[in-house]
Amino acid sequence: MHRQHVEADAVIVDSDGWQLPARYTSATEEVERLRTGVGISDVSPGGKLSLQGDDIDRVVTNAFPDLERLDIGVVAIADRSNVLARLAHDEYMVITGPNLASGAREALGDLDDRCAHLVDVTSAFAGVRIAGPSGRKLLQAVTEIDVSQEALPDMGCVQTSVAGIYGLLLRIDLQEVLSYDLYFARDYGEYMWEALLEAGAEYSVAPFGVEAMDLLTGRA
């Protein structure tokens, strides 16, 4: 999606070895949009690990003792930097910060004596964050899945088709701001970015950068 960022006149910065859009307009303007409308952001650099097998609960419990067993469709955050999404009885997706996948692999430990296997799928998936009160309406335009508060609450996840492409959708609200993270095959990055902009046009969707995210979450 880098070409779209450049064409949108984003200010590009180096962050953790990645080139990311810092801002498209101003960070304060983009934060205001997230509080009142909807914005999208490229979160592809996050590490992504697929953990599968019958022993995954034991593996996760050993790695993160304070984490309770997750039901299918539930998301939890472990050690502040690892997002665990329970996709099935024998499958988790573990999402980390940029360049932190190796640390998550080490935390999950040696799986040779377990009925479990771990695959680093960081380079296979792109990611887009959809944030703001109109984010639900935008998603309703591109997926048939129910994304209502009752069906997909905060810290919930679901596998679904978005704009005709398989995707993993996580809802992780940013403080008081409704927010979804969508992961999908990286080959569809440009298509998905444009599809979300088109679907959200009536809600004045616009891209936002890492500076706005830092302001919103208090990291700035």
Convert the pLDDT of each residue in 185-197 to its tens digit. Answer: 999 999 999 999 9
Per-residue model confidence (pLDDT) at position 220: 58
Residue 169 has pLDDT above 90, yes or no: yes
Q: Name the fold adopted by 46-122.
A: Alpha-Beta Plaits (3.30.70)
Give 15-29 pLDDT, tens digit per residue. 777 899 999 999 999
For residues 217 and 84, what is the distance between their CA atoms, to the nearest angstrom?
20
Contact 54, 115 (CB under 8 A): yes
State the chain's mean pLDDT as an integer: 93
- pTM equals 0.95
For residues 170 and 129, what is the distance between their CA atoms, to the nearest angstrom?
9
- Architecture of the domain delimited by 2-45+123-217: 2-Layer Sandwich (3.30)
Residue 206 has pLDDT above 80, yes or no: yes
Compare 99 and 182 and report the one with higher pLDDT: 182
Provide CB contacts within 8 A for 169, sequence distance 6+: 139, 143, 145, 147, 152, 157, 158, 159, 160, 162, 180, 181, 182
Domain boundaries, the chain: 2-45+123-217, 46-122
Residue 38 has pLDDT above 70, yes or no: yes
Give 114-149 pLDDT, tens digit per residue. 888 999 999 999 999 999 999 999 999 999 999 999
Give 79-111 pLDDT, tens digit per residue. 888 999 999 999 999 999 888 888 888 888 888
Contact 86, 70 (CB under 8 A): yes
Contact 86, 67 (CB under 8 A): no
